[in-house]
């Protein structure tokens, strides 16, 4: 089965402790290149021979628009992409532009435009399109990508607290989408396209006109959509408001910023490997899995634990009626069966791989309380109680 793998590495917030204007905001410092999550990530990927097709950064390479931190972050991503054998794709975050007007005469947008390799995409024509139209659009490996700049107005005053898309940008994008269809589509932006304030994440920073963006993606016959964004530093997978086929929203965790204390267990540094099933689309629509890893100073990068952020593995694309699925699983137990391994159930019900983490928890609850079947995560098996 053909698959395309993306590594999402967002919100680096590389700090520059030599810049006394701003506080250090992450575990990565341009003055200490041989320590921290990005340095560890290179070792981790290399040692585990982890590869992917695309390395995706949804913004905030640097912190507070410090030019050296942005350049350092982009170079780190280029190095990580090289280790993975991946093309690097990105979009601008609010910290990559002078959103807070800290630098009177500096050309912060020019820092991004002057990065080498070119940011946010290598090809000159796409680079021109991104900076002229606030997005670029292209097809690679059977997937249509849209890199969207939700920070296009951030160097104007009073626009720093949120993302915004103009009507013109959305109209242009809609016309481009209409010109050619593609089954599987990935849109990368920095801000959440819809409100995401639960768990003390704060409100009001979503993209103004983001509902219109989702409406366009959901209502057009442009194929299925995965929207990947950063900014919140809060890893979460959900479906957007809209139809039963609405775009899938992946809010990426931050790879290396200091976690926000208010988030509790969700305040952790995470990266995500997203695997998209390319040739299964006609059968099941857009399906995929997400493997998440988390970092701490003591252990470095490890598969994520169950609590907080995204779990070590989850999926998306299968939106079942939980009670129906639970009944089918219960029926799969024979009279004499006490245990059924998860792998056996996945053979019978392959779509179990593509359940999002919330549905997965509800499934476990329903199986236990309605059917008397408990799931033992460590042993990866179901057991009649």
Point out which residues bind Fe ion (CB under 5 A).
11, 60
Q: How far apart are CA 90 and CA 53, in angstroms?
A: 14
The DSSP 8-state label assigned to residue 247 in this structure reads: P
Distance in angstroms (rounded) separating the CA atoms of residues 99 and 96: 8
Query: What is the gyration radius of the CA atoms in the chain, in angstroms?
Result: 21
Helix 357-371 × helix 322-332 angle, to 10°: 60
What's the rounded Cα separation, in Å, for the pair 191 and 297? 28
Half-sphere exposure of residue 89, counting CA atoms within 13 Å on the CB side?
32
Q: Which is nearer to Fe ion, 257 or 359 (CB)?
A: 257
Whole-angstrom distance between the N-terminal and C-terminal Cα of the chain?
A: 37
- Of 245, 251, 178, 241, nearest to 210 by C-alpha is 241
Cβ at position 77, least distance to Fe ion in Å = 15
Whichever of 44 and 229 has its CB closer to Fe ion, that residue is 229
Rounded to the nearest whole angstrom, what is the least distance from the CB of residue 36 to Fe ion in the complex?
A: 16
CB of 237 to Fe ion, least distance (A): 18
Please say which residue, 135 or 229, places its beta carbon nearer to Fe ion. Answer: 229
CA distance 325 to 365: 12
- In terms of CB distance, is 60 or 291 closer to Fe ion? 60
Q: C-alpha distances in angstroms, 335 versus 330, 331, 332, 338, 382?
A: 11, 10, 10, 8, 15
* Residues 152/107, Cβ–Cβ less than 8 Å: no
* Residue 374 β-bridge partners: 383
Nearer residue to Fe ion within complex by CB, 159 or 364: 159
Say how far apart CA 277 and CA 350 lie, in whole Å.
Answer: 13
Q: Do the beta carbons of residue 236 and residue 272 sit within 8 Å?
A: no
C-alpha distances in angstroms, 158 versus 62, 161, 164? 21, 8, 12
- State which residue, 207 or 278, has the beta carbon closest to Fe ion: 207
For the CB of residue 73, give the shortest distance to Fe ion in the complex, in Å.
Answer: 11
Q: Which is nearer to Fe ion, 96 or 291 (CB)?
A: 96
Least Cβ distance, residue 59 to Fe ion (angstroms) = 7
**CB of 188 vs Fe ion, minimal distance in Å:** 14
Minimum distance from CB of 63 to Fe ion (Å)?
A: 8
* Closer to Fe ion by Cβ: residue 61 or 274: 61
Q: CB 95 → Fe ion: shortest distance, Å?
A: 6
């Amino acid at each position: 089965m053909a698959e395309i793998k993306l590594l999402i590495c967002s919100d680096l917030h590389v700090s520059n402790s030599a810049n006394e204007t701003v506080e250090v905001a992450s575990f990565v410092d341009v003055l200490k290149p041989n320590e921290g999550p990005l340095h560890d990530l290179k070792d981790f990927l290399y040692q585990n021979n982890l590869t992917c097709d695309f390395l995706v950064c949804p913004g905030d390479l640097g912190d507070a628009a410090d030019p050296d931190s942005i350049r350092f972050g982009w170079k780190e991503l280029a190095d990580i992409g090289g280790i993975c054998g991946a093309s690097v794709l990105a979009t601008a975050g609010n910290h990559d532009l002078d959103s807070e007007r800290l630098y009177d005469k500096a050309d912060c947008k020019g820092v991004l435009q002057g990065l080498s390799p070119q940011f946010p995409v290598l090809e000159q024509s796409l680079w021109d399109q991104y900076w002229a139209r606030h997005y670029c659009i292209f097809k690679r490996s059977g997937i249509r990508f849209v890199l969207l700049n939700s920070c296009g107005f951030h160097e104007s005053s009073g626009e720093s607290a949120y993302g915004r898309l103009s009507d013109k940008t959305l109209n242009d994008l809609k016309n481009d989408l209409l010109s050619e269809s593609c089954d599987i589509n990935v849109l990368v932006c920095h801000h959440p396209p819809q409100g995401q304030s639960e768990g003390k994440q704060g409100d009001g920073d979503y993209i103004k006109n983001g509902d219109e963006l989702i409406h366009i993606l959901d209502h057009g016959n442009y194929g299925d959509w995965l929207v990947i964004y950063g900014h919140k530093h809060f890893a979460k997978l959900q479906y957007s408001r809209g139809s039963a086929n609405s775009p899938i929203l992946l809010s990426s965790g931050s790879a290396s910023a200091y976690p926000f204390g208010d988030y509790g267990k969700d305040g952790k540094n995470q990266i995500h490997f997203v695997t998209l099933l390319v040739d299964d689309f006609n059968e099941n629509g857009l399906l995929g899995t997400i493997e998440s890893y988390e970092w701490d100073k003591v252990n470095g990068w490890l598969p994520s634990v169950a609590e907080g952020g995204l779990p070590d593995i989850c999926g998306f694309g299968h939106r079942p009626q939980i009670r129906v699925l639970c009944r089918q699983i219960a029926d799969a137990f024979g009279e004499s069966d006490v245990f059924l391994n998860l792998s056996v159930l996945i053979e019978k019900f392959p779509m179990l791989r593509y359940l999002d983490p919330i549905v997965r928890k509800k499934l476990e609850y329903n199986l236990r309380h309605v059917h008397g079947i408990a799931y033992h995560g460590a042993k990866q098996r179901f057991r009649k109680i």
